[in-house]
Structure 1
């Protein structure tokens, strides 16, 4: 059994087709077919079922491919860790729903790096965060669940072969400008916000309410803005008397802009957590980023 054969098996699993896998591996189809057949002969069981429409994993193949994925990720981790002195370019990607604290942690991460790097922070909707981690577009994802959607979220994580770790449980807060009429309040109830426009993030045309990122289901609201990203929300918070509901974490990096957060006491707490693929070994950059996220969560909550 060779490392190359493991890579071949994973490629066929990914593309579901011998020809497409061979094309993406830049080898001939007969070469790939022979390598997989030799591997199956050595193992003593079939990894794939061959169909006219493509190739599918056998039950034994599913277990084998999961182990192969773990081996390849471990080798990649060791290469990153022990060949860094050779001047390789650092790569790290994270997907997150719309949190100020992840953006602040990401900016701080970049200041710690020397040499070459490619860092990517994707502001995404909740289901997109899950899919981007599953597909490997991002190494980790940061998102949240409420008591209402907790079971649906955890069930989705399990079916997607993702692991999660809780960062913190927080009381949702209203974000608005420090010049807002409610900015001096110590706490709020939803009815206190009723006279003001509400800003929410666009969730797509057919997103189940269990996978929306909003931390509470607002009752029918008279005035609403539906926006795409944190930058747009921030602009509207500073330029109007609108509010948005979020984690309540205000990083030091955005406080000078005049953004504040006031807890809403009649909304249940929400839980912020991060995810990764099962058996994936985190890179040093991912571990550093998560440490910075924990710091931002601790420092960014108004006392």
Structure 2
């Protein structure tokens, strides 16, 4: 048994599939399956029940995974002892171009070379990541109408949520080659009549329901920003995004929504009673200061 094997089991349980976990971990499926089988033989009990429909964590497996998570968190603390007050950033974030840009700028602007980490995922997954201790800080974005719901969810999970940027207006976004690109305004119901691209996480699906276009037969759901922007730039798909000051020659067209004013709210999330490190405070200040200077897309 080694620490990597503990992580493999935890991730397999999270993804609910050896096949999916192997892809996310960049391991071959036979290798991951063999690791889990060898670990179960070493322990003398099954961690997972296997069936044609997938895997299910056993009762003893649940206890094993709880202990494994504690061990991995303690290991993380041990590895970070050398950094004293300048601990690496460990951030989970909703899919946001701006945050990634600021993250890279911040790293390049500091003299310290630390193994910072940022991962993109859905809002619910961000909260779960902070709750599990996999990230010390999360960043979420959601429609202003859902603010109360997200604050309540964070409170129920024992998390603290704080506002980040000023609410941003949202627009229909598409390629300059899209059929609607020359339209001055658009109504939400029109969005349901065209191919629409969305992320496939729970919060994005909630947003589609808020718009009333969740039943769009031409909906394309993706799980990463690369695929998202490829779909938009193809000229076939449109979406909704908070976006200001479009870069010249960006190839993107933003169209105001006529019948409803949509705003995007942003927050950072930490565990209750958690004290932000000096580096985390500096990163938040870096982002908000830069945001006041130039507004870009999220």
TM-score normalised per structure 1: 0.60
CA contact (8 A) 1:171 1:263 kept: no
Instruction: Name the structure 2 match of 1:240.
Output: 235
Deviation at 1:237, TM superposition (A): 1.0
CA RMSD across the alignment: 3.4
Whether 2:131 is the aligned partner of 1:134: answer yes
- What's the secondary structure of 1:107's corresponding residue? helix
1:175 equivalent among 173, 186, 196? 173
Contact preservation (8 Å) 1:93, 1:120 = yes
Query: Secondary structure, in 3 states, of the residue corresponding to 2:194?
Result: coil
The structural deviation recorded for 1:102 is 1.0
Please state if 1:294 is matched with 2:292. Answer: no
SS of the equivalent of 2:211 reads coil
Q: Please tell me whether residue 281 in structure 1 is matched to residue 279 in structure 2.
A: no
Deviation at 1:123, TM superposition (A): 0.9
Alpha-carbon distance, 1:215 to partner: 8.9
Instruction: Give the 3 Å change call, closer, same or farther, for CA 121–210 of structure 1 in structure 2.
Output: closer
Secondary structure, counterpart of 1:196 in structure 2: coil
Structure 1 residues 290, 190: CA separation in 2 closer, same or farther (over 3 Å shift)? Answer: same
Contact residue 188 and residue 211 of structure 2 kept, 8 A: no
Deviations 1:114-171 (A, max 9, x none): 3432122211111110011122222211113335433321111112222222122122
Higher-Rg structure is 1
Report Cα offsets for 1:149-198 as digits up to 9, x if no partner: 33321111112222222122122222222333444555432244344210
Cα pair distance change 1:240/1:296, threshold 3 Å: farther
Q: CA deviation at 1:247?
A: 2.2
For residues 118 and 246 of structure 2, the distance between their equivalents in structure 1, rounded to whole angstroms, comes to: 17
CA distance in 2, matches of 1:273, 1:249: 19
**Distance change >3 Å, CA 211–CA 197, structure 1 → 2:** closer
Which runs of structure 2 are paired with 1:185-204 in the superposition (5 Å)?
A: 185=183, 187-203=185-201
Find the aligned partners of 1:137 and 1:93 in 2 and give their Cα distance.
8
SS of 2:116's equivalent in the other structure is strand
Mind listing any 5+ residue stretches in structure 2 that lack a counterpart? 1-62, 64-76
> Distance between the aligned counterparts of 2:156 and 2:105, measured in 1?
33
Cα shift readout 1:80-128 (whole Å, capped 9, x = no counterpart): 43xx5xxxxx511211111221111112112113343212221111111
Change (3 A) 1:243 1:210: closer
Residue 162 of structure 2 corresponds to residue 165 of structure 1: yes
Q: Identify the residue that residue 217 of structure 1 maps to in structure 2.
A: 211
**Hey, what does 1:109 align to over in structure 2?**
106
Name the CA distance, whole Å, in 2 between partners of 1:190 and 1:291. Answer: 35
Residues 93 and 183 (structure 1 numbering): CA distance in 2 closer, same or farther, change over 3 Å?
farther
Counterpart-to-counterpart distance in 1, 2:236 and 2:262: 25
2: CA distance, partners of 1:293 / 1:240: 31
* Normalised TM-score (structure 2): 0.61
Secondary structure class of the residue paired with 1:236: helix
Counterpart of 1:118 in structure 2 is 115
